[in-house]
Structure 1
C-alpha cells in the first residue's frame, strides 16, 4: 500500500462522489408524469388533487417565477423489486448547492396525506421498506417554482423579487422521476467513508490516528468493485469496522446536534410561501422522526405552528402528535424570531406572551429559553425581558459574523442594562444550518472559548429556508461520531437537555454586560423606511387602543375587543420578523407590509374612536386634547390644553436674511440656505450650535457596501460625503420656516417650528427620494463636550462611546436608538428625537472653538438588493432637536413626540393609572390576557436610578393589586392598597407588571 496521504484522500473523494453516492439507488424505472399549472396564487390541497392534469415528461420545462405546478406521478413497482426497500427519486431541476433558494415541493398521497418535501438535498419519496412488487403508485407534488435570487454571484439587482415584475419564463426542467431500489448497504458505506475521510482531513498530518484511518480507507476501496458497488459494499465496510469502533477520548468535546431548519418567515420569498416552506419541512421532519427513534427536532416561532394549524391542518395533526411524544420540540417561546433591536419593549413582551400562550394552549408546554440565532444584534434590555418572562436561557449565533472583533465567549452570563443576567450560548460551529461535516464538528471543538472549564456546545443541524431541515445523511454522520476517536462526541438531543447539562457544567461563567452589537448589517436601522414607520405607528396605536378600550371597559361597560387586539398584535409581531422590519426582504414582502400597516392603522383608529365614544369623547376639532403619552407631565387622559400646562407661545419672523423661531425658552436662527446657525437655550443662555457651523445640514454619501446591499453600510462610506448646502428656497408660513431644496433627482421640503413646549425644534420633512446607492443624513454640530452618547433602548437607555480608542468602539460607527439619543455634558445637553428613523451616528469634532460633537440622523438609503427600488419614492419624516435637555427631558419628549395629542370634544377623562414619580413611567395599560377583566399596568424606571413612587389607580371596584411576571403569570405578592394607590420601590431600569383585580 502507498503511504501518500494526499493521494489517498484524493482517491477516496473521487470514488465517493462519482461511484459510491450514485450507487445508493439502483434499477431506475421511469414513472408517468402529468401536471396542472395553477393560474395565480396557490390553491387548497383538495383542489390540487382534483384538478385536470395534462401529460408531461422528463426534459420539459416548467414553472414561471412564483407559480405553483401540481404534478401527478404514477406507475407501479416492478415485480423484480419484491423484498427490497423502494423509493422514488424525483429531480424537478434542483441545484444541490442551493437548498432553500429555488424550487421545492410537498408530496401527497392521493387521499391528501402529506408524505414529505422534495428539495435539492432530499429528492426521494418513500414507497416501501419491503416491497411486494407490482404495487400501484400514485403521488401528487405541489411544486413551487420560486426564482433563484441568491445565485452563485449573489446580491445583483433583480426584478424577480415581486410577482408584479417577475419574468414569464419557465425556470426549471424536469430531470428524472424514477422508482428505484434503495441500496441500504451502499448508503451505510457512503457514510462510513465520508465521516472517516472528513475526520482524517481535520487531524494533524503526523497523527497516528489519521494514518490508521487512511490506511483503512485504502483497504476498503480495494475491496469495492466499482462496477458492482452494491454487491461489494459489505466487504468494503468490513475493512472500516475497527477504525469506526475506536472510542473518543475522555476529554473529547461533546456536541449536541439539535434537528433544526431555520426558516426565515419572509425574506427572498413572500409570507404566503413561508407557510408552504414550513409545511414541507415539518412533513419531512415528522417522517424522519418516525424512521429514526434517536432523532429530536426543534422548531421555533409560534406563528409558523399557527400557519400549519390554519393552512395545513393535515401536517399540523402529525406535528401535534410528535410534540406530544416529546420528539418535535417547540423552542424560543416567541411569536416569531423578531429583529432584536428595533421593536419596542412592549413588543418584545408581546412576542413572548403570544408565543408562550400559543404553545401552552396547543401543546400544553412552555418554552424554557429564547432562540434567536439570526437577528442582527441584541438590545441590552433583553436579559430582563427574557428572565422576567420566565426564560432560563438564550441562544444566538449571529455575533460570530462580526467584521472586526471576535466575541470572547461561547457560554456566558449576558447581563442587561438593569443588571439581570441570562445564561447564554453561542454555538462555536458558527452556523445555525450545520450539516455535521467533519470540518464543522472539528471547528466547534477548536473554537469553543470555554474549553478549559467546559466541554459542551450545541449545533442546530439541518438545511433551512425550505431546504428540508435535517436529513438522514446528517443523522448517519451523527451516529458514527457518537463515540469516535479523534472526533468530538455527537449526541442527538433537545436544546433543553443541552442547556440543563451546560448550566450544571459551568455554573459561574464569565459575564458580558450590555448590548450584543453586531459589527455588520448596520444599515438595517434605516433601510425600508416605510416598513419601519408602519411598525412605529402600529406600536403606538396598539398601546392607545388598549389604553382607551381598558378605560372604557372598566368605567363604561365597553366590550373590550380581545380577539381583534390579539389578531392585530400578532400581525404586527409577524411584521417584526428579522428580515421584514430591518428592511432586508424582497419588494413583494415590503409592498405587502405597507398594505398591512395601513389596514392595521384603520382598524386601531376605529377601536380608539369607539372606546372614546363610550367615554363621551369625540375625536376631531374641539377644546380637549386626547393624550396617550403615559408620562406624568403628559398624563394618560383627555385634558384641556390649559390644564396640560404645556403650551408656550412662539413665533417665526424674518430678520434680514435670517429667519428666527423664538419662544420664552428657546431661540432658533435659520440662514437663507435653510441651515440652523444658532440654537439657544434661553433659560441658561447656552448656544447649542458650534460657532461658525451649521445644523439642519443634509449630507449625502456614496453607499455601496462590500456585500449585503440592504443590510450593510461599511465604514468607507464616511470618506465620500457631499454637503447639500447649495441654494434653497426659504420662506415663512405662519409660525414655521419652510425650506425647499433639490439635489440630484430628489427634492425635500422641510418645515421647522418650535412645538407647544417652546423648547423642541421640530423638523417635518417630505422627501421625494430618487437616488441610487446613496445614504442621506441630517447633521447638527453641537457645542457639547461628551465622550459618550446616551441612546434610548427598550425600557431605558444605554451608553455608547463616541470615540475610537479601541476596535470595539471604532466598529460602532453606525448605531441605533428607540425614540431619542442625547449628547450631554454636566448641566447641558441636546436630545435628538425621531418618529420613525432609528439609525444615527455621533462623532467628536475638534475646531478652533473647542471640542464638540457632530450628531447625525440617518434618514434614507437606496440599496438595490434584494429590492431594486428600496425606499425610492415619497417619505415623510418627523425629527426633533431638544435644547437644554437631560435624560428626563429626552424621555418625556420622546414619549410625547411619538404620541402626539389629538383634538377632541366631550367629557374630560381622568387618568386610570398615574405615577407620582416622573422617573417611573406607566408604559402600557390593558385588560388581562386571561380575560378575567383584571387590569394590567406595565411600568418602568426610565432614568437609571432607584425610585420610589405611588401608582394611583382610578379603577372602579379595585379589591386587590399584585405583581406578576412580565407575561402576566403567577402572583409575585400583593401590594398594599391605600387610598386607591400602591407604593413601589423600583430598581434602575426595572420593568414591573401589576394586576389590578376588580
Structure 2
C-alpha cells in the first residue's frame, strides 16, 4: 500500500481527473437553442445557413410581368389573363389596400438544379396570393410574411424549358389591412406591399428535417417541467446536435439527424410513426377556421377559401395521415360557383374521407340573436347542401368561435341529425373558468348533445409540444375521460395546417413513444371517430357530467348592441320572411295559378343566414362588411316586399290606395291568435281590427262621450296620459308615475323615474366592438330632457315628446305614447326614439325601475325563455351584468310583473328592480364609424297581472309585427280565413312558422 497507486478495480474508470467539468447552467443552454435556428448575427453559421442548397432569382430563370387590376376589382382567371401584362421585378410595391395584381411568372429551371431532390418557388409579397396553373386551375395558396411562401415545383418543369404559372396577389394580409398588419384597428386604405421574394429554391431536405427535429427537441427542453429529468434529457440532445453541427458540412446534418432519431425515434419522417398500437390520448384534427367576414369583406373570403383549401388538398396528397375538417356550407357554395375545378378536387377528397365536413349549418353563426326559426334554417340549409353535394349530413355541430350559446341549440341539433357539439370559446371567459371539457349539454326541452371543448383552448393550435401538454394539464374532465381533440392550423384569416404542423406532430408522436412523458397524439382519424370512441368510453354518456341551459359567454357582451342598424335589419327581415312564407303558403293552396316562390325565398334566407355570421350580426367586423350586409338586406327587402304583394294579389288582397279596387278594408294578421288593435287606414283616419284569422275586417273607431285616451298638462312640462287601464305621468321626459287601474297598484317605486336615459363610459380592456366590462357601470351619467311638449292629441292616441341633449354633437328625441285600451287586451306605454349619435366610446341605455322584487328575471330567447339572476351573489351571477334577449325581458313576482318590449334591440340587464335596455354603443374599432348617425328605436312598457305568461309573448310578437291594411272583397276574406292555419290548446303554445315543404311539387 505504502505510496503505491491503488489498482483500478475494473481497469476502466480513470483514477485521476482529466479536466474540471462544471454543472451546465440550463438557462444559458436553453437560450443557446434559440440561436441555432434564428436569423440575425449567427445566420450564416447556424442551421439556417444550410436549409437551401441553391437559390436562383431574376432572369432568365424567373421572368415577371404584371397586370394591375383597376378599381379594386377581383376578376376571375380568364378575365385577368386576357389583359396585357407589363414587366416588373422583385422589390417593387403594389397597392393600395384591397387591390388585386396578377403576375405572369415564367420559370426556367437551371441545368444545375434539374436533379435536386426538392424544388420550390418561394414567393413573398407579405400578403395573400394564389398560384394558378397556365390553364386556370388553383395550385397553392400563399400567405406571405414568412408563413406559407412555397409552392412545390412539379417534376414536369424539370426539362430545361420555360413554364408559366400565374400568381394572383391580394393586397391584404391574413388579417386584413389594419396598421401593423394584424391588429383589430380599422383598415388603412393605402397600404402597399413590396414583392420581397420570387425565386427558385433547391431545398436541403435533410437540413429542413433537422430543423423540425430540433424544433420539437427545443420545445421539450423549454416545456417539460423545470429541472425534471425530461427537461435535462431534451437539453442534452439539443446540445449534442448543436455541438455536432458544422456550417457547410452536410455530414454534420446527417449526424445531427441520427442524434435526434435516438431521441424521437426512426419513423418520424413518415406516417408510419402512428402505426404503433398504443391507445392515444390526443386526436389531431386539421382545421381552417375562415371568418366569413371580419377584417376583410365577403369578396375576399371567397378567395381565402380557395387559397386555404387548395393548400390543404396538396397536403392531403402528401401526408396520408392528415385529416382536414371544415364547416360552413356557404363557403362550399362559393367554391362550387367560383372555383369549380377546385370544388371537384375537394369533393374527391371528401369521398376518400380525408377532407371532412362538419357543422351542419350555413355559416358558423351567432346563436344569441337569431330567432329560433333562423337557427333552424341554419341547419336546414346547411344540412341540405352537404347532403345534396356530398351524400350525407353532418353529425357534429362545429362552432368554435361564437360569443355564447343559446339554450335551445341541443334540441335544434338533435332535430337536425346531430348529437355532438364542438366548441372552445368558453375558455375565453374573463371572470369564471368553465368547469368542464367534456360534458352533456341539455336544452330547455331536455334534449342533449355530447359537448367537447379542446383543452388546448384554441382552434388554431400550432401543433407544438406545448399544445399536447395542455391537452392533458388543462383537461377538466380527466376523471371521466382523458382523451381530447387537438384542433390545429392557421385560422380566423384562413390558411389551415401547414406541412410544418404535420411534421411536428409526427415528431411529437415519436417522442411520446420513445421516452413517454408526453401525451400520445394520433393522426388519421376523423372527428366522428373521436366522438365514437368517446361515447363508448363514457357508457353512452349516462354518467357524464351535465350542464343545463345556455352556455353564457363571459366576454364580448357588447356584441348584443354594436352595429344597431345591422341588428335592426336582421329582426325586420326575420319577420318579413315569416309573413312571406305564411301568406305564400296560403296563396299556393287557394290559387292554382300562383306558384310558391321557393327560389326567391331561399335567396333571402341564404342572405339572412350569411349576415348572421358570428362576426357580422354581433357587430365585430370592419365597415366594408356592413356595406356588404346593407346591400344584401336592401335586396332582401326589395325582393321580399315584391313577394308579399304577389301573395296578397293571389289571395285577393290589394293596396287600399289603388283606384278601382273594390271591397272593404281588412287588416292582414299573420299571428295565430285573436287580436284587437287600432290600425291606421290613412294619414288622418284609424279603425279597429278585431278578430282572429289572416284577414280581419276593420271597423270604425267610435268616439264615445268619454274620450278613450286623454292627455293633460298638469303643471309646466308635467303631463298625465290616461286610458281605461293605465295612468302615466311624464315629467322631463321620464315616467314618474305609472298606475295600473286594473290591478289598482303603482308600477314604479315612489320617487323613481322610468324611461330614464343614461349613458356610460365604455372603454373595454381591448376588444372595443366586442366588449363592455363590468366597471362601465360605475360611470353612469343621467341624461336630462331640455323640453317636453304634447305632440299628438287624438281620440285614439296621445303622445308627448322630449328632447335630450347627449353632448354637443348628439341628441335624442323620445316620444311617449298611450293608445286607447280595449277590454281583455293589454295596454302598452310605447316609446319611440330618434337618436343622432356621434359619440366616442359611450354606451346609451334606458332604465325602468319597477316595484317588483325577484332574484331572477326572464328573457325571451330562440324558441324559449331563460331566467337569469338579478343579483351579484356570486361571480357567476355578476358575470351576467349584460345579457341577450329577443323581443322582451320580464321581471315578475307572484301575482304581478312588468315586461319591456323592443323591436330591434338585444342587450339587456336587470339589476335588482331596475330593468335596463341597451340602445347604442360607439366603439371605434374595427369600424371607426360604428353606430354613428341617425337611429330610430322603439320600445314599450307592459305591466301585467299575474306572473309571466302568454300575454307578454303575444305582445312581443304583435309589437314586432303590426297588421297591414289592405282592401279585399268579402268572398276573398272568407276564403282566406277558411285556409287559416293555427294550432289549438294552451295559450302558451306558439305557432311560429308556416311554410311549404322543401320538396313540395306544385
Alpha-carbon contact 1:652-1:732 (below 8 Å) kept: no
1-side partners of 2:390 and 2:458: how far apart? 29
Deviation at 1:741, TM superposition (A): 2.3
In structure 1, the residue matched to 2:210 is 189
The answer as to 2:194 corresponding to 1:158 is no
Match of 1:898 among 960, 964, 984: 960
Alpha-carbon contact 2:420-2:531 (below 8 Å) kept: yes
Alpha-carbon contact 1:681-1:883 (below 8 Å) kept: yes
Deviation at 1:89, TM superposition (A): 3.9
In structure 1, the residue matched to 2:14 is none
Measured against aligned partners, the alpha-carbon deviations of 1:131-167 in whole angstroms (never above 9, x if no partner) come to 745242321111100265455597675353xxxxx23
Match of 2:69 among 20, 23, 38: 38
The answer as to 2:770 corresponding to 1:711 is yes
Residues 159, 653 of structure 1: alpha-carbon distance in 2 compared, 3 angstrom cutoff: farther
User: Structure 2 stretches of 5 or more lacking a match?
Assistant: 1-20, 40-45, 267-272, 658-663, 676-690
CA RMSD, 1 decimal: 2.3
Match of 2:899 among 806, 814, 831: 831
In structure 1, the residue matched to 2:596 is 560
The answer as to 2:887 corresponding to 1:855 is no
Residues 92, 914 of structure 1: alpha-carbon distance in 2 compared, 3 angstrom cutoff: same
Alpha-carbon contact 2:289-2:494 (below 8 Å) kept: no
1-side partners of 2:87 and 2:181: how far apart? 36
In structure 2, the residue matched to 1:982 is none
Q: Secondary structure at the match of 2:454?
A: coil
Residues 104, 231 of structure 1: alpha-carbon distance in 2 compared, 3 angstrom cutoff: farther
1-side partners of 2:196 and 2:927: how far apart? 32
Deviation at 1:770, TM superposition (A): 1.4
- Choose 244-253 or 430-439, whichever is displaced more: 244-253
Deviation at 1:397, TM superposition (A): 0.6
**1:98-137 pair list within 5 angstroms:** 103-120=127-144, 121-128=147-154, 132=158, 134-137=160-163
Match of 1:52 among 74, 78, 84: 84
- Choose 407-416 or 674-683, whichever is displaced more: 674-683
1-side partners of 2:735 and 2:119: how far apart? 73
Deviation at 1:920, TM superposition (A): 0.9
Match of 1:605 among 614, 636, 641: 641
2-side partners of 1:200 and 1:636: how far apart? 74
**1:55-74 pair list within 5 angstroms:** 55-74=87-106
Match of 1:630 among 672, 675, 679: 672
Match of 1:141 among 167, 180, 184: 167
Residues 668, 529 of structure 1: alpha-carbon distance in 2 compared, 3 angstrom cutoff: same
Measured against aligned partners, the alpha-carbon deviations of 1:285-328 in whole angstroms (never above 9, x if no partner) come to 11111111111111100000000011111221211111111111
In structure 1, the residue matched to 2:817 is 753
Deviation at 1:176, TM superposition (A): 1.3
Deviation at 1:4, TM superposition (A): 3.0
Match of 1:287 among 307, 310, 314: 314
Match of 1:549 among 581, 584, 589: 584
In structure 1, the residue matched to 2:246 is 225
Match of 2:376 among 338, 341, 349: 349
2-side partners of 1:582 and 1:932: how far apart? 38
Match of 1:738 among 766, 789, 801: 801
Measured against aligned partners, the alpha-carbon deviations of 1:413-435 in whole angstroms (never above 9, x if no partner) come to 01112222110011110111011
Residues 302, 868 of structure 1: alpha-carbon distance in 2 compared, 3 angstrom cutoff: same
Measured against aligned partners, the alpha-carbon deviations of 1:425-473 in whole angstroms (never above 9, x if no partner) come to 1111011101111222211210001123312111221101444211000
**1:882-961 pair list within 5 angstroms:** 882-884=942-944, 886-906=948-968, 907-908=972-973, 909-910=976-977, 911-932=980-1001
Deviation at 1:411, TM superposition (A): 0.3
1-side partners of 2:494 and 2:981: how far apart? 51
In structure 1, the residue matched to 2:744 is 685
Match of 1:536 among 571, 575, 596: 571
In structure 1, the residue matched to 2:709 is 650
The answer as to 2:265 corresponding to 1:245 is yes
Q: Secondary structure at the match of 1:240?
A: helix
Measured against aligned partners, the alpha-carbon deviations of 1:45-103 in whole angstroms (never above 9, x if no partner) come to 11222221111111111121110011122131111112223433434332xxxxxxxx2
2-side partners of 1:554 and 1:643: how far apart? 32
Deviation at 1:208, TM superposition (A): 2.2
2-side partners of 1:86 and 1:16: how far apart? 21
2-side partners of 1:834 and 1:574: how far apart? 24
In structure 2, the residue matched to 1:526 is 561
Q: Secondary structure at the match of 2:992?
A: strand
Q: Secondary structure at the match of 1:921?
A: coil
2-side partners of 1:207 and 1:636: how far apart? 77
In structure 2, the residue matched to 1:983 is none
2-side partners of 1:359 and 1:283: how far apart? 19
Alpha-carbon contact 1:159-1:868 (below 8 Å) kept: no
Residues 73, 491 of structure 1: alpha-carbon distance in 2 compared, 3 angstrom cutoff: same
Which protein has the larger Cα radius of gyration, Structure 1 or Structure 2?
2
**1:764-913 pair list within 5 angstroms:** 764-844=832-912, 853-884=913-944, 886-906=948-968, 907-908=972-973, 909-910=976-977, 911-913=980-982
Q: Secondary structure at the match of 2:918?
A: strand
1-side partners of 2:630 and 2:966: how far apart? 28
In structure 2, the residue matched to 1:409 is 436
Alpha-carbon contact 1:86-1:130 (below 8 Å) kept: no
Alpha-carbon contact 2:50-2:248 (below 8 Å) kept: no
In structure 2, the residue matched to 1:956 is none
1-side partners of 2:894 and 2:489: how far apart? 54
Residues 250, 106 of structure 1: alpha-carbon distance in 2 compared, 3 angstrom cutoff: closer
1-side partners of 2:883 and 2:782: how far apart? 21
2-side partners of 1:509 and 1:188: how far apart? 43
In structure 2, the residue matched to 1:358 is 385
**1:659-698 pair list within 5 angstroms:** 659-671=719-731, 673-698=732-757
2-side partners of 1:8 and 1:307: how far apart? 51
2-side partners of 1:271 and 1:156: how far apart? 17
Aligned pair count reads 907
Deviation at 1:513, TM superposition (A): 1.1
1-side partners of 2:184 and 2:313: how far apart? 37
Deviation at 1:826, TM superposition (A): 0.5
Deviation at 1:631, TM superposition (A): 4.1
Alpha-carbon contact 1:76-1:137 (below 8 Å) kept: yes
Deviation at 1:888, TM superposition (A): 1.7
Q: TM-score, normalised by structure 2?
A: 0.87
- Choose 784-793 or 120-129, whichever is displaced more: 120-129
Q: Secondary structure at the match of 2:192?
A: strand
In structure 1, the residue matched to 2:399 is 372
Residues 396, 535 of structure 1: alpha-carbon distance in 2 compared, 3 angstrom cutoff: same
The answer as to 2:54 corresponding to 1:27 is yes
Deviation at 1:636, TM superposition (A): 5.2
Measured against aligned partners, the alpha-carbon deviations of 1:661-694 in whole angstroms (never above 9, x if no partner) come to 22211111111x1110111211111111111011
Alpha-carbon contact 1:701-1:717 (below 8 Å) kept: yes
Alpha-carbon contact 2:217-2:237 (below 8 Å) kept: no
In structure 2, the residue matched to 1:198 is 219
Alpha-carbon contact 1:81-1:133 (below 8 Å) kept: no
- Choose 121-130 or 344-353, whichever is displaced more: 121-130
Residues 596, 649 of structure 1: alpha-carbon distance in 2 compared, 3 angstrom cutoff: farther
2-side partners of 1:457 and 1:649: how far apart? 66
Q: Secondary structure at the match of 1:618?
A: coil
Q: Secondary structure at the match of 2:37?
A: helix
- Choose 297-306 or 84-93, whichever is displaced more: 84-93
In structure 2, the residue matched to 1:639 is 696
In structure 1, the residue matched to 2:116 is 84
Alpha-carbon contact 1:400-1:430 (below 8 Å) kept: yes
Residues 623, 754 of structure 1: alpha-carbon distance in 2 compared, 3 angstrom cutoff: farther
